[in-house]
Structure 1
Amino acid sequence: MISAVRPPTRRIAAFLGAAALVLAASGCGAGADTESAAGEVTSITALDYYTDATEHAQWGERLTSCGKRAGVTVEHRSVPGASLVPQVLRQASSRTLPDLLMLDNPDVQQIARTGALTPLDRFGVDSGGFTPGILSAGSYRGKVYGLAPTVSTVALFYNKDMLAEAGVAVPRTWDELKKAAAKLTRPGRYGMAVDANPTFEGTWQFLPFLWSNGGDETRLDTPEAAQALRLWVDLLKSGSMSKSVLNWTQADVHDQFVAGRTAMMVNGPWRIAAMNKEERLHWGVAPLPVRRPGQTLITPLGGEVWTVPNSSSPARQAKAARVLACLNDPSHMLATARQYFTVPSRSAVASRYAQQVPSMAAFVESVERARARTVRLGDRWPQAATGIYTAVQAALTGEQTPEEALRNAQRIANGG
């Protein structure tokens, strides 16, 4: 996912659960009492940000299961998402890193650059069957440091009843999207909703429009990027989108959709579990529209990867790698995907999953071509992400034209 705000990839942690599960930095290191007198490793530590009580317990069960397969007990601890990377950096300096570490995929570059992680090929971990985009999300300088059991991205959710009543087909191009959104808009309801807030979450939602039109975060001040931003400006100015999108989170967009106050929205599969509980809500999901027929849809890749930090104990690393490999085997991938409505990271498993869970088919299709946010800029990605959401805000408020806003975004990306 990123620094303070993580998109798509996870639910926001419950405060009380986080308070109960916070681990002090000094407590995560490998303990001397976890190896037998003969030097056999009997226990390893694992750290993640799954602080929601239910989710923490679910991942604890997975780690316990995979630990048994590897012949170790896994001591599982969680910290709040915003605390994870700062804690990891402190622990890297003090050499007290856990044996197994979960990271949001955009953070892998930053941590790997410090030398804190070990390439997985040293342990013979199987990375076959993953798409190049998914592998790149856990890679740094050509080496795979982390693997994600499942991943996510965004797509277009639509209210089937509203589209049918208005005689509107699911849009496949930007022109069709604008026409459909306008026709679906009426008092008390907007045709389209996005998260355009000034965070990395807002950037995440804009990326499919930028990338699919040939825009690139390495050069933001291009006509292709301006066309993508102009689309959002046109939707807002025409009244097809609420001005409140400037402040909405993805959770807010979901709430608007469920309440019938928007007919279409950009969101991720983690919303499906809640929508399935709404008996009167008849919804569908499709890949996001592209500017013109024939363009390739490219969406951002969300999801967390498991890594093996460097340590002075090759034996502990080997055990951690076995647990990591287990978490990424097809059976665990499929079980995790079904539980969270995410996409299995191995293509063959994802294809079977799409047949079993039709509501996930659009996400499986999009993930095949999804792109890691750090693939072009590496650890310089946060600067570009900041420039992008700053440009979106400036253009949607009318403070600047899309072209002006993106020129400023490029300055921010360059560190100016």
Structure 2
Amino acid sequence: MSRSLPFPRLSRTAARPGTLAALAAAGVLVLAACGTGSGSSGSGSDTLTEIDYYDAAPQNTQLPRILDECAAKSGVHIKHQQVPRAQFMPKLLQQASARTLPDLALIDNPDLQQLAATGGLVSLSKAGLTTEGLYPSIVAAGQYDGQTYGIAPGVNGLALYYNKDLFTRAGLTPPKTWDELTAAAKKLTKGSRYGVAFSAVGTEEGSFQFEPFFWTAGASLKALDSPQAVKALTLWKDLVGTGSASKSVVTWTQADVNDQFLAGNAAMMVNGPWQLPTLNAAKDLHFGVVPIPVPDPSAKPVVPLGGEVWTVGHSNAAREAKAVSVVKCLLGQEESLKWSKDAGYIPSNQQAAAQLATSQPQLAAFVAEVGTARARTTELGTDYPKVSQALADAIQAALAGGTSPQSALAQAQRSARN
């Protein structure tokens, strides 16, 4: 969601999980207003074009350095371009229709299938790019119609942050199950402080935050009104209804949630690894990070994969080969680890991820979740944005509108079918 910054830093989604539904709906309308920019055609094969949306993120300074290192190893130079997030996919879709996509594009992983469906991307599978040593869940996030069209050097997800001082005073240990989460949130709620905080905003960012509970309960995006889905939404509704979580969660972004945790207004929060630099800068805050609680002890958390994938645009054989070579470099253990450290991500390379979990224990919970994480488009492909918005609307209806979880999700399922 998503950094997602949903995403999450959804993709910067979770993540900027920006809102995928809004982008998908607005894409056709905005195409005519966006310039074509500089595509891959017309330049020599010693200079490759690259585009991303990191104009306002820390990676804006780190990305070119790492990318240029891999470009140098491949014997090329990189011409960078940053585009604001809201304009990014409309611009790429226009370029795809004109077959002028940049040689390299770094896109939010839920957008991959929409772009691959245009036919403008090189199949990395056919180009000989190996995914050996990478997490299968991450490989799946870059696939469309049985082919790999995008690969992430690193990803992000969601975990549970908790205030160590408050837990110690309350005699609590970090919750592992939903029952323990509910009990801890209730005990830690006092005065203006809530037990837990999460983002339930009515966009992809809210869906991104809800999906760990939704999927871990056994629910499917193909059946939004299943008993398992109702169980997950009931958990959130009960936390808000009992006062263990603020009613304002329906308006809080992930950044807002982090602010609440920093200010001591929430004892726990659901958030991503991109928040760690800000939290670590608060010297008086002592916190820990654990995996998302599960319905029962036998379950494993299933979190959505946030982060971006590298894609290669069609041009000519020489340029495509050079671009694929750059991507191969970025996926190496050393480069994947370097990328993730700079971006606050988890390396796609499993050995690099294990190394990071050892050297940076705060990331261990995120690393532990990657193996069972899920690409948001796995079940629905290009239909994901529409269903994600229907799910976000259901969350809003249940938490802010007084609708029962079952009724809200039934309406969401009807909307998703239309």
2:101 to 93, 97, 103: 97
Q: Which residue of 1 aligns with 2:23?
A: none
Unaligned runs of 5+ in 2: 17-33
1:126-154 Cα offsets, whole Å, 9 max, x none, are 21112221011100011111110100100
Paired residue secondary structure (2:51)? strand
Q: Which residue of 1 aligns with 2:392?
A: 389
Q: Which residue of 2 aligns with 1:28?
A: 38
Partner Cα separation in structure 2 for residue 122 and residue 43 of structure 1 = 23
Which structure: larger Rg? 1
Unaligned runs of 5+ in 1: 13-23, 36-40
Paired residue secondary structure (1:290)? coil
Please say if residues 6 and 306 of structure 2, whose CA atoms lie closer than 8 Å, have aligned partners that are also in contact: no
Alpha-carbon deviation of 1:9? 2.7
Alpha-carbon deviation of 1:102? 1.2
- For 1:368, give the aligned amino acid: G
Q: Which residue of 2 aligns with 1:234?
A: 238
* 2:226 corresponds to 1:222: yes
Partner Cα separation in structure 1 for residue 385 and residue 278 of structure 2 = 30
Please say if residues 41 and 100 of structure 2, whose CA atoms lie closer than 8 Å, have aligned partners that are also in contact: no
Please say if residues 152 and 308 of structure 2, whose CA atoms lie closer than 8 Å, have aligned partners that are also in contact: yes
* 2:6 corresponds to 1:9: no
* 2:62 corresponds to 1:58: yes
Please say if residues 59 and 342 of structure 2, whose CA atoms lie closer than 8 Å, have aligned partners that are also in contact: no
Partner Cα separation in structure 2 for residue 364 and residue 371 of structure 1 = 13
Partner Cα separation in structure 1 for residue 57 and residue 349 of structure 2 = 28
Partner Cα separation in structure 2 for residue 303 and residue 4 of structure 1 = 10
Paired residue secondary structure (1:147)? coil
Aligned counterparts, 1:254-273, within 5 A: 254-273=258-277
Aligned counterparts, 1:9-408, within 5 A: 9-10=11-12, 25-30=35-40, 32=42, 34-35=43-44, 41-52=45-56, 54-311=58-315, 313-408=316-411
Count residues in correspondence: 397
| CA shift in 2, pair 1:329/1:262, >3 Å | same
Please say if residues 218 and 228 of structure 2, whose CA atoms lie closer than 8 Å, have aligned partners that are also in contact: yes
Paired residue secondary structure (1:307)? strand
| CA shift in 2, pair 1:116/1:347, >3 Å | same
- For 2:141, give the aligned amino acid: A
- Cα RMSD of the aligned pairs, angstroms, is 1.6
- For 1:407, give the aligned amino acid: A
Identity %: 46
1:276-326 Cα offsets, whole Å, 9 max, x none, are 101000000000111112112111001100011112x11011111111111
Paired residue secondary structure (2:59)? helix
Partner Cα separation in structure 1 for residue 326 and residue 136 of structure 2 = 23
TM-score by length of 2: 0.92
Partner Cα separation in structure 1 for residue 261 and residue 398 of structure 2 = 24
TM-score by length of 1: 0.92
- For 2:205, give the aligned amino acid: E
Please say if residues 25 and 91 of structure 1, whose CA atoms lie closer than 8 Å, have aligned partners that are also in contact: no
Alpha-carbon deviation of 1:328? 1.4
Partner Cα separation in structure 2 for residue 179 and residue 398 of structure 1 = 25
- For 1:306, give the aligned amino acid: W
Partner Cα separation in structure 2 for residue 376 and residue 4 of structure 1 = 24
